[in-house]
């Protein structure tokens, strides 16, 4: 057998080591620095303790944590502010910061209280009237719509999604487990964030911990398939301590249009929470990963500011970023996607 020269062996080792992708940072070769400068000044004094944002029919909606009102709506047309949902167990009260998103209709806001399971619809054209839709018995994290199809993102032991059609209920998406180093099951995965493309008939799930992205194809609702499973770093708990210290923080917010998936990515270790005065700072990120709907990496945006939540609006074709401004306060910045991809 012909022996390889030492320099060739070293080259092969370098190539093989260099090609190993352990995090999303390794997965993206195309990177661009972005300065978030377009700040929406009207919102600076309105934002209190925000958790997430969305934009519907010229309304900015902010989900709050530890505030008198857990939902704040600011109408950009008439410059009016509306506060909804006090914290509590009573009518039109919710228990924690809610999941907010667009509803079935273009002028409808969906508000989901994850703890109580209550789902509300807010009519943004009719004086912000509140209608309770349903109450989930299984904890639900998000609701996504495609015409008559409703996808409920579950925190359950059996499946990731419940699909409600006009005729039946269906379940899909295997729930992955977290194991310790002795391969003993410890806990269900803490969950993730989902986004939908009605045009492509696909749902994308980005995990909060680890470096994992999954895409489901529901073009045939009788045979929903996992079309992409990108697992670069699967979380494991340490042996005796049973802690997540060395686990990567993954995707903290996700949104999309029909061409791309936009994922707000941390890449930090969970152990950094010990160094923080405010534990909510762990949700702040400076990277937006852009995938196509096949799961291919397109570009990574490195931001100059820390961002907590992102939302793409088809209405304006802008990406809205909830982040920290130069004065150290929360603000919302706009990001023109078309000019940067």
Residues with Cβ within 8 Å of residue 135, at least 6 apart in sequence: 116, 117, 118, 119
The DSSP letter of residue 127 is: T
Structural domains of the chain, with CATH: 21-336 (2.120.10.30)
Buried b / exposed e over 82-99, threshold 16 CB at 10 Å, is: bbbbebeeeeeebbebbb
Strand order across the 108-112 sheet = 99-102, 108-112, 118-123, 129-135
pTM exceeds 0.85 for this model: yes
* One pLDDT digit (tens) per residue for the chain, 341 residues: 444 444 433 333 333 344 566 889 889 999 999 999 899 988 988 998 999 999 999 999 999 988 889 999 999 999 999 999 998 888 888 888 899 999 888 889 999 998 888 899 999 988 888 888 777 767 788 999 999 999 999 876 678 899 999 999 999 998 766 655 544 444 444 578 999 999 999 999 999 888 999 999 999 999 999 999 998 887 765 544 445 556 788 999 999 999 999 999 998 877 665 565 455 677 799 999 999 999 999 999 999 999 999 999 999 999 999 999 999 999 999 999 888 88
Between CA 313 and CA 332 the distance in angstroms is 14
């Amino acid at each position: 057998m012909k022996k390889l020269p030492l320099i060739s062996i070293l080259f092969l080792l370098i190539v093989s080591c260099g090609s190993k992708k352990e995090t999303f940072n390794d997965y993206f070769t195309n990177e661009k620095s972005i300065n978030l400068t377009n700040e929406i000044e009207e919102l600076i004094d309105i934002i209190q303790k925000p958790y997430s944002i969305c934009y519907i029919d010229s309304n900015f909606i902010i989900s709050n944590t530890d505030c008198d009102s857990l939902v704040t709506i600011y109408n950009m047309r008439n410059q009016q502010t509306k506060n909804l949902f006090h914290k509590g167990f009573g009518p039109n009260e919710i228990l924690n910061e809610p999941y907010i998103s667009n509803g079935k209709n273009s002028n409808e806001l969906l508000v989901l209280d994850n703890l109580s399971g209550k789902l509300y619809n807010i009519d943004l054209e009719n004086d912000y009237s509140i209608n309770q839709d349903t109450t989930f018995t299984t904890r639900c994290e998000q609701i996504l719509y495609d015409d008559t199809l409703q996808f409920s993102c579950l925190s359950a032991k059996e499946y990731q999604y419940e699909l409600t059609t006009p005729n039946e209920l269906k379940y899909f998406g295997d729930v992955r487990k977290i194991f310790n180093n002795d391969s003993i099951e410890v806990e269900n995965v803490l969950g993730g964030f989902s986004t939908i493309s009605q045009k492509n008939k696909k749902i994308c799930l980005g995990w909060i911990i680890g470096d994992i992205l999954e895409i489901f194809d529901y073009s045939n609702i009788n045979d929903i398939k996992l079309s992409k499973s990108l697992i670069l770093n699967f979380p494991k708990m340490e042996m005796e301590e049973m802690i997540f210290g060395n686990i990567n923080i993954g995707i903290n917010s996700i949104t999309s249009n029909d061409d791309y998936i936009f994922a707000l990515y941390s890449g930090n270790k969970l152990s950094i929470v010990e160094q923080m005065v405010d534990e909510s700072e762990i949700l702040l990120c400076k990277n937006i990963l852009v995938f196509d709907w096949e799961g291919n990496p397109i570009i990574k945006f490195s931001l100059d500011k820390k961002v907590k939540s992102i939302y793409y609006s088809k209405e304006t074709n802008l990406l809205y970023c909830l982040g920290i401004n130069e004065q150290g306060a929360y603000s919302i910045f706009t990001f023109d996607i078309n000019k940067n991809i």
